[in-house]
Amino acid sequence: MIRRLVWGACAWFALAAPLAHADWLQTGEGCRVFMIKPPKKAEASWTGPCAGGTANGKGVFRMTTEREDGKHTSTITGKMQDGRFVGTVRIDPGNGDLLEGALEDGRMRAAKITFADGRAYTGPIVNGLPNGKGKMNYPDGMRYEGDMRNGVRQGQGIAVYENGARYAGAWRFDLRHGKGDYTTPKGMVISGTFKNDELRGRARFTGPDGAWFEGPTKKQNPHGKGMCGGPERKAAVPCEFRKGKFRR
């Protein structure tokens, strides 16, 4: 599920180099802060020092803006230099999410994000969303490490589930999609192709004892005629399964 960080204008001020549309915003305390595309109507405050008319030192910047669904307040905590944040900052977008990371050349390229829905992410970000190779912990106990794109699992990655199951392979839109290996809680390894989180077509099932079946599948189980083998067999032999049960 893609869940964007609703930062508003507050999160973008002082997080990038000056642009053509950049300007200065004056807080209620009369202290200026640098902002990219400042909103026309906003109430802003800064709790830190103000030197030479601009925010300097450690403090909290808070901004409230008017939206169609009402007022929205977001905050950034950290250190300012000449009206711009530097170093590590903590962002509260006002939607229950929390983001913390260090600025590099005025931009946050990696962060720790705690989402309101219970997810926790560590890794690279783009526009406030997980992008790149990172780690995500989910409230249901699943742990994921691998490629993320716009906040969802996409690419190659490994998921370890609360029940001990494990999947390593391709993902698309947060679902197992493509070639991968799924290990059941009992140690059965299923190697095949997944589509929209379901096993499709032919696959290879290898048990903890090394015995294996390769052939067609149905509802995640061996189903049909294929080949069987194992550590004690010198060569594979024809065999048949029905709904996961060995027939011959």
**pLDDT for the residue numbered 64:** 92
Residues 6+ apart with CB under 8 A from 30: 50, 53
User: At 109, which amino acid appears?
Assistant: R
Q: Choose between 31 and 23: higher pLDDT.
A: 31
Burial-class residue 186 by CB neighbours within 10 Å (0-12, 13-18, 19+).
exposed
Mean pLDDT of 69-73: 85
Q: Quick one: what percent of the chain has pLDDT higher than 70?
A: 91
- pTM of the entire structure? 0.84
Query: Which DSSP symbol is given to 33?
Result: E
| 228 touches 237 (CB < 8 A) | yes
| Max intra-chain CA distance, the chain | 86
Mean pLDDT of 164-172: 98
Q: Please enumerate, as own/partner, the contacts of 234-240 that have beta carbons within 8 Å and a separation of 24 or more.
A: 239/213, 239/215
**pLDDT for the residue numbered 238:** 95
Report domain extents, the chain.
1-103
pLDDT-based confidence at 22, cuts 50/70/90?
Answer: low
pLDDT digits (tens, 9 = 90+) for 184-200: 999 999 999 999 999 99
Q: Residue for token digits 């109507």?
A: 41
Give just the sign of the alpha carbon dihedral 183, 187, 189, 195: negative
**pLDDT for the residue numbered 9:** 35
| 103 touches 110 (CB < 8 A) | no
Mean pLDDT of 223-233: 91
Tokens of 12: 């973008």
pLDDT-based confidence at 60, cuts 50/70/90?
Answer: very high
φ and ψ at residue 30, rounded to 5 degrees: 85, 20
Q: What is the DSSP string of 201-213?
A: EEEEEE-TTS-EE
> Does pLDDT of 19 surpass 70?
no
Mean pLDDT of 211-226: 94
User: At 221, which amino acid appears?
Assistant: N
pLDDT digits (tens, 9 = 90+) for 26-54: 899 999 998 877 777 889 999 999 999 99
Tokens of 96: 């229950």
| Residues comprising the chain, all counted | 248
Q: Choose between 43 and 166: higher pLDDT.
A: 166
pLDDT digits (tens, 9 = 90+) for 125-144: 998 899 999 999 999 999 99
Across the chain, mean pLDDT equals 89
Binning the chain into helix, strand and coil, the percentages to the nearest 5 are 0, 60, 40
Residues 6+ apart with CB under 8 A from 161: 141, 142, 167
